[in-house]
Amino acid sequence: MSQLQIKDLNVSIGEKAIVKGFNLTINSGEVHAIMGPNGTGKSTLAKAIAGHPDYTISGGDVLLDGQSILAMQPDERARAGLFLAFQYPSEIQGVTIANFLRAAVQARLAEGEELDATAYYKRLYTKMDLLKIDRKFTSRAVNDGFSGGEKKRCEILQMAMLEPKFALMDETDSGLDIDALRIVAEGVNAMRGGALGILMITHYQRLLDYIVPDHVHVMWDGQIVKSGDKSLALELEAKGYDWVKKELAHA
């Protein structure tokens, strides 16, 4: 049982405060959705937790199983069990998915320990079968010339192989048509529960039809302003974000 605690987190880019006193605790097995209009700091939150160098943590803490991760490099955070599924994954020319994942898996082994290549490929193919990904896919260079759907599938495959404790999924639904969305959702649903905790960031309710969250939070101006169960997402869909805005004005 693992726990990711985000405590009174403040994040800024340069002088500009983006995330303002954000609080949330996620346990293994839980799926949390964060919804909110553009520009409320959802993506900033995810990247800051992953350790992106452009973001400054100006206050608060992020704890993984009780240990602060803020002093750790992005790769150390990743190896500690944090995975960020990118909204816009980078292309890596000349590096196949299979080799990239192999390097990532190797990086998790103790120094001097060599990866068992046969076992690695066996596991990779099992995960690909699970996600209904064609075998030829992993011999392509990472995200190089991929469609939006292929990029997202590549993210989910990496997530499946690296078996993180917590996955931060940043707008995984953006750029996906309905078929791609369904396939990606199936993959996430196959992984959910058990040891994996998920923080899902989305702008639209649509994704939540396929990956049904345990908790829904509305983010506004850098913090959570409303939490509830999956019905909150439907309410938001029906009433729009203006509803939250009005509620806030009354509060």
Partner 1 sequence: MKPPTDLDATSVADETIAGENPVQGIDQTAGNFSYNVNYEFDAGTGLSEDTVRYISSVKKEAPWILDFRLKALKTFLDKPMPTHWATKDLENINFDKIRYYLSQGQKPKRTWDEVPDDIKKTFERLGIPEQERKYLAGVEAQFDSEAAYSNIKDIVAKQGVIFVNSTEGLREHPEIFRKFFGKVIPTGDNKFSALNSAVFSGGSFIYVPKGVKVAQPLQAYFRINAENFGQFERTLIIADEGAEVVYMEGCTAPKFSTSTLHSAVVELVALKGAKIQYITVQNWANNVFNLVTKRGVAHEEAEIKWIDCNIGSRLTMKYPGVVLKGRKARGEVISIALANDGQHQDTGAKMIHAADETTSNIIAKSISVGQGRSTYRGVVHIPKHLKGCKNNTECDALLINSNSRTDTYPAITVRGDANYVQHEASVSKVSEEQIFYMQQRGLTEAQAMSLSVNGFVNDLASQFPMEYSVELKRLIDLEMEGSVG
Q: Which is nearer to partner 1, 85 or 131 (CB)?
A: 85
- Beta bridge partners of residue 18, listed in sequence order: none
Q: Which is nearer to partner 1, 15 or 54 (CB)?
A: 54
Q: Which is nearer to partner 1, 89 or 222 (CB)?
A: 89
Give the C-alpha separation, 140 to 146, whole Å.
9
Residue 139 binding partner 1, by CB under 8 A: no
Do the Cβ atoms of 7 and 24 come closer than 8 Å? no
Residue 94 binding partner 1, by CB under 8 A: yes
Give the C-alpha separation, 59 to 19, whole Å.
10
Greatest CA separation for the chain: 61
Applying CB under 8 A, the span of 6-14, 98-106, 176-184, 220-228 interacting with partner 1 comes to: 98-106
Residue 57 binding partner 1, by CB under 8 A: no
First-residue to last-residue Cα distance in the chain:
37
Do the Cβ atoms of 204 and 221 come closer than 8 Å? no
Residue 207 binding partner 1, by CB under 8 A: no
Q: Which is nearer to partner 1, 108 or 122 (CB)?
A: 108
Residue 117 binding partner 1, by CB under 8 A: no
Residue 192: C-alpha distances to residues 49, 112, 142, 186, 223 (Å)? 21, 32, 25, 10, 25
Among 75, 116, 177, 229, binds partner 1 (CB under 8 A): 75
Place of tokens 């939150």: 45
CA 73 from chain centre, in angstroms, equals 18
Among 41, 89, 213, 222, binds partner 1 (CB under 8 A): 89
- Which residues in this chain contact partner 1 in the complex, by CB under 8 A? 50-54, 73-75, 77-79, 83-84, 86, 89-95, 100-101, 103-104, 107-108, 141, 158, 162
